Amino acid sequence: MKTSKLAVDLLGVCVVAAGLAAPLGSAAAQFSTGGTITFTGAIVAPSYGIATSVSEKSQGFRTDVPSDRNASTVDVTFTPAPHTSTAAHVYVLVNTASGVTPPRTLTTRFVDNARRAGPQAGTRFDMGRAGGTLSIASGAVSESAVTVVVNYD
């Protein structure tokens, strides 16, 4: 029986594809649900490490525990890379059916790690080289998803 070169090549491609699919599938299973990080443009200096923590008692950005009503339910921590010289601007926008808009009912505050100023309220924050923490709390049920934009200097 004569085997064609095309059949051997196709068999090799299938074996390679099957070998790649198994590790990729197991790696994807390790990720948890959450947000999406999208980069646009070019990062030309060491950036900040970004991590989130969520209150166990929260439902989105809301909590039904009376003693925790003013506490943040989501904290986004920006940790600077060693020897970084970049500063950044952080913006908080709410995702709606028609796009993104400034939040109307969410409470946001930002603390710069260099302690240049006390907590800032609003939707636009200036972050120094030391990083900082963005805290998000409360809000209407309709404001359940946000976009955090980081613009590096």
| Of 72 and 98, more confident | 98
List the domain boundaries for the chain.
Answer: 1-31, 48-152
Amino acid at 59: Q
- Other C-beta atoms lying within 10 Å of the C-beta of residue 153: 11
Mean pLDDT score of the chain = 67
Average pLDDT over residues 59-82: 66
Answer yes or no: are the C-beta atoms of 74 and 61 closer than 8 Å: yes
pLDDT digits (tens, 9 = 90+) for 8-49: 343 333 333 333 334 333 344 444 455 666 666 665 666 788
Confidence of residue 107 (pLDDT cuts 50, 70, 90): confident
CA distances from 107 to 2, 38, 104, 142 (A): 73, 24, 9, 14
Provide the pairing of β-strand 88-96 with 74-80. Answer: unpaired
Q: Which of 129, 152, 142, 146 is nearest to 72 (CA)?
A: 146
Contact 151, 93 (CB under 8 A): no
Question: What pTM value is reported for the model?
Answer: 0.61
Judge contact between 51 and 133, C-beta under 8 A: no
